[in-house]
Amino acid sequence: MLNPIDGFSYLAKMQIGLRGEWLFHLPYTSQEGAGAFLFLFYIFLGHIARIFSLQPTLVFHLARIAAGFFLCFGIEMFLRTIQVRWLQSVFSYLLFVILFGSGFGWLAGPLGVFTMDFWVAEAYPFLSMIANPHFPFGVGLLLMFFSGIQENRSVKWFDPFLGVILAIVLPFGVVVGSAVIVVYNFFRWFQSEKIQWKLPLFYLLPAGIVLVYQYFAILSDPLLRDWNAQNQTPTPSLWVLLLSFAPLLLLALIGIGLWVVQDRDKNLNLVAAWLISGVGLAYFPFALQRRFLLGWFIPVGIFALIGLGRITKNRISRFRKWFWLILPLSLLTNLFLLFGALQAYTQHRSPLYLSRDEFAVLEWMNREVCPRKAVILTPADLGLLVPAYTNCRVVYGHPFETVYANMTQDWLEQFYDGEISQGEFSHFVESYQIEYLVWPRGNLSKFSKWMEKLPVVYQNDRFIILETRQGS
């Protein structure tokens, strides 16, 4: 997994489907709450794992691979709808750079700047495909919609269903699609063209209804409301954005600049709308603004090759020389990512790999206490794993999906440092309905004397599990 912290949260959502349920409850919070129909894509994958008796991790990666192929299909289909002669003449170059290109993160990293091409997976096709299934699947659905707009096709019976699926899989895709269509139709109006409204209406209106439900479902549940309030994903500065999409963004600025002042080719209206609305949404004052860079590398890549074509005066021989000079600069970040992943794989790094003791303690939990969804107090690293592999709930395990994460993490650190009194612990246990406590053997020096009275129910070479509420 590119991002294990988020990756394990996806597996935790799949556990909901694995036990035959559909309502989402925060798995990294001790309180269960009323629940809502959210994250249905991963819950559905959990049902697939249950029906076919497959491991959730296997289903996750099979879905990721299938979604990756779907994204490749969507990108090729969308690019073929752009009736620009120059782009068609360099189609293979365009497809390659969009699928595998990245930014200048490899250059900025040694300078202490952590750019988005290392971690904002939704913005880059290659990064999306190695991160999770829902990013490539959602972007693929968005590209199918954009392809229909480009072709000015009539409404099909399946369009409302595709819109609903997009809203379920990737809600931000609906917002991005709506913003692009607004800017796109503004360009058409400015060019005295007929406004396209039928396909957007039938695709985006049902999707919007799903978004309205999701919004009010979150606001009506106190736990989900507090979880949503701490879920902040701001966009980095414009300087970091430039580095994250350079060198292609520099060429794209040339391409769109010349498009604005010279030809304003109508076939590029939608791509220009995506490029402009993407950066506009990314800096709109909204807590989750970074999510709106969804698929943004695609219009950047298209206008980059238009810009490079203008620089080389659309001469293929000159274009090829410049292309093969610039392309390696755009590939290096992804090569570094793959090299890092290979190192993690060969060195069996945690948390990508479970140790024998971690596996054993999770197996015991699954067998003895998790069928009743017991609440367990664990160190943060184990707390990340427990909901991903069991039905148990944890007090803390995720920086975004644990409600009041910062406060809870601070308490957890004090507790495992031996700084919490017996009275404070008892109050915490009652407040959070904690049934079991996991203590790492490597931290026995901080084990408080009063905890010796708690009965030991399981132990191995690395962990000791104690019962905190006898008779539970």
Give residue limits of the domains in the chain: 55-346, 356-467
In the prediction, which pLDDT does 86 show? 96
d(CA 337, CA 113): 16
* pLDDT at residue 355 tops 50: yes
Q: How confident is the model over 397-415, as a mean pLDDT? A: 94
The structure tokens 């959602």 sit at: 138
376 phi, psi to nearest 5 deg: -125, 135
Calculate the alpha carbon distances from 158 to 69, 183, 200, 260, 274 in Å. Answer: 21, 25, 13, 35, 24
Rounded to the nearest integer, the mean pLDDT of the chain is 95
Element (H, E) at 393: strand 393-394
DSSP category for residue 24: B
Structure tokens at 122: 């939704």
d(CA 224, CA 244): 32
Calculate the alpha carbon distances from 199 to 146, 150, 165, 393 in Å. Answer: 10, 11, 16, 44
Quote the pTM value.
Answer: 0.95
In the prediction, which pLDDT does 470 show? 60
Contact 403, 394 (CB under 8 A): no
DSSP string, 234-254: ----HHHHHHHHTTHHHHHHH
SS3 35: coil
Helices within 2-52 (DSSP H only): 4-18, 40-51
Kindly state the percentage of the chain with pLDDT values over 70: 99
**Helices 56-80 + 40-51 axis angle, to 10:** 130
* pLDDT at residue 401 tops 50: yes
Element (H, E) at 298: helix 297-311
Split at pLDDT 50, 70, 90, the class of 303 is: very high
d(CA 141, CA 170): 9
Phi-psi region of 326 (alpha: psi -120 to 50; beta: other; left: phi over 0): alpha
In the prediction, which pLDDT does 347 show? 86
d(CA 420, CA 346): 40
Sheet holding 456-459, edge to edge: 393-394, 375-377, 436-440, 463-467, 456-459
Contact 297, 249 (CB under 8 A): no
SS3 394: strand
Contact 357, 461 (CB under 8 A): yes
Q: Enumerate the β-bridge partners of residue 436.
A: 376, 467
Q: Which residues contact 63 (CB under 8 A, 6 or more apart)?
A: 45, 133, 137
Contact 464, 441 (CB under 8 A): yes
d(CA 28, CA 403): 8
d(CA 399, CA 227): 10
Structure tokens at 54: 């497959």
Comparison of pLDDT for 269 and 262, the residue scoring more: 269
Q: Which amino acid is at 393?
A: R
Q: How confident is the model over 80-94, as a mean pLDDT? A: 97
* pLDDT at residue 357 tops 90: yes
Contact 448, 422 (CB under 8 A): yes
In the prediction, which pLDDT does 472 show? 44
